[in-house]
């Protein structure tokens, strides 16, 4: 079966055993780093992404500062050992720089930047292990890191990627499904404003499919949000301290 | 604020010096004690070897990847081993994105020298076929910087190595996620870093102690008791007697680390 035709859907199920709209196991831990002002680790399937926030702090270089609001800087990068294939290059590549940019636009919406004029907020997302859907995992973690840093936001944003394999729409693609599938749409949404804040796409998609994808995306986001809230609750209400937890 | 933590460390540095006059440290440790440490191995299974090391609040991740590479012209049958270190911007408010600066380069080279001099790995076993050898890439990822990166990085790097598996090779290519077995290691190596504050050496400094110190020495010690790499940094000097006695301390104090790495 592996050699001739790789099937992603067999007997109405995904080969990884999940139903079409099932998410992989998801866990978020807030406050995992001592130095950073806010941090979070997300483990989503085999993905492991660490996000941290510094700021609001003085803008450097100064001429970039905005008298009306905080500027947001986002770094997304994959560790050279994060993939299953060959050793990667260190530092952000072109793909990573693009993801940093779209992530920045998400947080320019979510963060109440006008409350912190002439400052910058630096968000770092480091993919330590990757298995498809790392950008939504990274932004979902960064959102928790911002909350952990005590930075006021309009909403705790989150998302999930939606794709199509063998004509079937599925939620939360892993690397294998992403590589062999027909379309991939990472989505980050605000459940509060009902807006889509990150929307990238490749593959051919009909209007009906897109509509269904948005529905699946918002539905998936609700599950993700529960996990984020749980992580913050764990950090501040159940443990009741700010001490770093050495897993 | 960008400079806040540095200023804080400088203020605390004065306190560190005062305390040390009474042989005391900010966290009540003995002068020659490590902070509590722990190692998690195999945390990133996509890599051929991986580990996360915690030394107090300092946290470093390390990963190993193998690729097929061209051997060096002067050593056509020998494998290649490379260490890279990244000071991630999320690890400290003063770390910036970009190519490695001198501190990251020094850190990588220090970890590299320890492992290379201890001859932990037999790179002759990395020969594949003519013009093809295995390249082993060790990436050291600084995640949380709260002092003494050198020892935490050495611990993470060595643990990743101890967790590494020898890749399966077919038709001159690596078959990912299939292995011949564990990567054989001849021995292990970790390091002990001392900071000298007003003439008094202490082991495993936290950030404010690092700021207070004007001399540093890192000693990499192998599991068979040899000194495998050394690096003296900052302006203050050490006498040869001081260095010899620190070698003795390093040998004794690295024992629990070396034991933990081999578990």
The residue behind tokens 């790495």 is: B261
Distance, CA of B89 to CA of B134 (rounded, Å): 31
Task: Decide if the complex's ipTM is over 0.90.
Answer: no
**Listed residue (A106, A111, A122) closest to A189, CA to CA:** A106
pLDDT tens for chain A, residues 1 to 247:
344 567 899 988 999 999 999 999 999 999 999 999 999 999 999 999 999 999 999 998 899 999 999 999 999 999 999 999 999 988 899 999 999 999 999 999 999 999 999 999 999 999 999 999 999 999 999 999 999 999 999 999 999 999 999 999 999 999 999 999 999 999 999 999 999 999 999 888 999 999 999 999 999 999 999 999 999 999 988 765 555 544 3
Domain containing residue A197: CATH number:
3.30.230.70
8 Å CB contact of B141 and A58: no
Within 8 A of A246 by CB-CB distance, chain B residues are 38, 54
8 Å CB contact of A79 and B84: no
8 Å CB contact of B57 and A34: yes
Within 8 A of B92 by CB-CB distance, chain A residues are 35
Specify the pLDDT at position B261: 97
A243 found inside a domain: no
Specify the pLDDT at position A1: 39
8 Å CB contact of B86 and A90: yes
A90 found inside a domain: yes
**CB-closest option in A92, A128, A246 to B61:** A128
Q: Does A242 touch chain B (CB under 8 A)?
A: no
Specify the pLDDT at position A12: 85
**Listed residue (A190, A246, A238, A228) closest to A30, CA to CA:** A228
Q: Does A126 touch chain B (CB under 8 A)?
A: yes
Range of the domain at A114: 17-236
8 Å CB contact of B40 and A39: no
Pairing relationship of beta strands B80-87 and B127-129 according to DSSP bridges: unpaired
Q: Does A39 touch chain B (CB under 8 A)?
A: yes
Specify the pLDDT at position A5: 61
Q: Which residues of chain B have pLDDT under 50?
A: 1-2
Domain containing residue B183: CATH number:
3.30.230.70
CB atoms within 10 A of CB A176: 17
Specify the pLDDT at position A3: 43
Angle formed at CA B66 by CA B61 and CA B71, multiple of 5 degrees? 130
CB B171 within 8 A of CB B231: no
What does pLDDT average to over chain B? Answer: 95
Q: Work out how many CB contacts closer than 8 A connect A with B.
A: 111
A245 found inside a domain: no
Within 8 A of B141 by CB-CB distance, chain A residues are 79, 126, 128
Within 8 A of A51 by CB-CB distance, chain B residues are 90
Number of domains in chain A: 1
A8 found inside a domain: no
8 Å CB contact of A91 and B43: no
**CB-closest option in B46, B54, B144 to A84:** B46
B81 φ/ψ angles, rounded to the nearest 5 degrees = -130, 125
A28 found inside a domain: yes
A179 found inside a domain: yes
DSSP state letters, A141-206: HHHHHHHHTT--BS---EEEEEEEETTEEEES--HHHHHHSSEEEEEEEETTTTEEEEE--BS---
Range of the domain at B166: 4-262
Specify the pLDDT at position B2: 42
8 Å CB contact of A46 and B57: no
Within 8 A of A90 by CB-CB distance, chain B residues are 84, 86, 139
Within 8 A of A122 by CB-CB distance, chain B residues are 89
Search chain A and give the residue with CA nearest B84.
A90
Number of domains in chain B: 1
Distance, CA of A103 to CA of A228 (rounded, Å): 18
8 Å CB contact of B144 and A86: no
Within 8 A of A27 by CB-CB distance, chain B residues are none
Distance, CA of A69 to CA of A116 (rounded, Å): 6
Within 8 A of B42 by CB-CB distance, chain A residues are none
Q: Residues of B near A (CB-CB distance < 8 A)? A: 1-5, 38, 40, 43-47, 50, 54, 57, 59, 61, 63-67, 84, 86, 88-93, 97-99, 135, 137, 139, 141, 143-146, 176-177
Q: How far is A205 from chain B (nearest CA, A)?
A: 32
CB atoms within 10 A of CB A241: 9
């Amino acid at each position: 079966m592996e050699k001739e035709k790789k099937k992603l859907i067999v007997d109405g199920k995904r080969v990884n055993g999940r139903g079409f709209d099932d998410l992989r196991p998801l866990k978020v831990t807030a406050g995992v780093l001592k130095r950073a002002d806010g941090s979070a680790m997300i483990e989503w399937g085999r993905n492991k992404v660490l996000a941290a926030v510094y700021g609001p702090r003085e803008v450097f270089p100064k001429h970039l500062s905005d008298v009306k609001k905080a500027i947001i800087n986002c770094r997304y990068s994959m560790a050279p050992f994060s993939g299953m294939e060959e050793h990667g290059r260190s530092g952000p590549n072109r793909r990573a720089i693009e993801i940093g940019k779209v992530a920045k636009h998400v947080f320019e919406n979510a963060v109440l930047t006008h409350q912190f004029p002439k400052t910058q907020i630096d968000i770092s997302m480091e993919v330590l292990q990757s298995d498809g859907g790392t950008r939504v995992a990274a932004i979902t973690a960064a959102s928790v890191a911002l909350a952990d840093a005590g930075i006021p936001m309009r909403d705790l944003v989150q998302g999930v990627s939606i794709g199509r394999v063998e004509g079937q729409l599925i939620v939360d693609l892993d690397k294998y499904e992403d590589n062999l599938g027909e379309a991939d749409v990472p989505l980050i949404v605000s459940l509060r404003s009902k807006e889509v804040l990150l929307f990238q796409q490749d593959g051919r998609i009909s209007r009906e499919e897109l509509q269904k994808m948005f529905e699946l995306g918002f539905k998936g986001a609700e599950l993700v949000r529960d996990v984020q809230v749980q992580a913050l609750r764990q950090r501040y209400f159940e443990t009741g301290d700010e001490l770093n937890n050495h897993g | 604020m960008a400079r806040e933590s540095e200023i804080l460390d400088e203020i605390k540095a004065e306190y560190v010096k005062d305390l040390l006059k009474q042989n005391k440290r900010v966290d009540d440790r003995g002068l020659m004690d490590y902070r509590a440490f722990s190692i998690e191995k195999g945390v990133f299974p996509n890599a051929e070897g991986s580990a996360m090391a915690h030394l107090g609040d300092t946290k470093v991740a390390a990963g190993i990847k193998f690729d097929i590479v061209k051997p060096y012209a002067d050593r056509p049958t020998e494998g290649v081993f490379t260490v890279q270190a990244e000071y991630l911007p999320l690890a400290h408010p003063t770390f910036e994105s970009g190519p490695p600066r001198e501190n990251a380069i020094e850190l990588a080279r220090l970890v590299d020298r320890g492992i290379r001099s201890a001859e932990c790995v037999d790179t002759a076993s990395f020969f594949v076929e003519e013009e093809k050898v295995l390249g082993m890439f060790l990436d050291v990822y600084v995640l949380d910087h709260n002092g003494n990166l050198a020892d935490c990085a050495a611990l993470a790097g060595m643990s990743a190595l101890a967790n590494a598996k020898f890749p399966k090779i077919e038709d001159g290519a690596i078959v990912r996620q299939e292995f011949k077995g564990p990567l054989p290691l001849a021995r292990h190596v970790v390091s002990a870093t001392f900071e000298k504050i007003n003439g008094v050496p202490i082991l495993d400094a936290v950030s404010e102690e690092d700021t207070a110190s004007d001399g540093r020495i890192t000693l990499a010690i192998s599991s068979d008791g040899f000194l495998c790499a050394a690096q003296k940094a900052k302006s203050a000097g050490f006498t040869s007697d001081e260095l010899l006695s620190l070698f003795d301390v390093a040998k004794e104090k690295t024992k629990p680390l070396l034991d933990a790495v081999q578990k």
